[in-house]
Amino acid sequence: MIDSVRVHNVATYLNPVEFKPKKLNFIYGSNGSGKTTISKLLGNQLVSDDCLIKKNSDRGVSVLCYNKKFVEENFQQSENLKGIFKRGFSL
């Protein structure tokens, strides 16, 4: 499991930021706030001497990131699929 993540001197993180993730984490925020930077760091797509992931064991850590790269690799447009629509109203 990951004990802490430290991000510094990359993208929007000019000052050091450190957080302690839980077993399951949702990272959300406005555009340009650094969500993609964190997902790239956790997914080993970003290497920086100023960023650090501390683990509490030498075992591998499974990180699943639902980001732009994941969508591009797993979904595609299809001309043959019809849209699914639901009509109705809410109370």
Domain count, the chain: 1
For residue 87, is it within any domain? Answer: no
- Could you read off the pLDDT of 19-76 as tens digits, one per residue? 898 888 888 899 999 888 888 888 877 788 888 888 887 777 778 888 888 888 888 7
pTM of the model: 0.64
Read off the amino acid at residue 72: E
Look up the domain containing 51 and give its range.
2-76
For residue 52, is it within any domain? Answer: yes
Most confident of 13-17, 53-57, 80-84: 13-17
Cβ atoms of 1 and 56 closer than 8 Å: yes
Q: Which residue has the tokens 């639901």?
A: 86
For residue 32, is it within any domain? Answer: yes
Cβ atoms of 39 and 65 closer than 8 Å: yes
For residue 81, is it within any domain? Answer: no
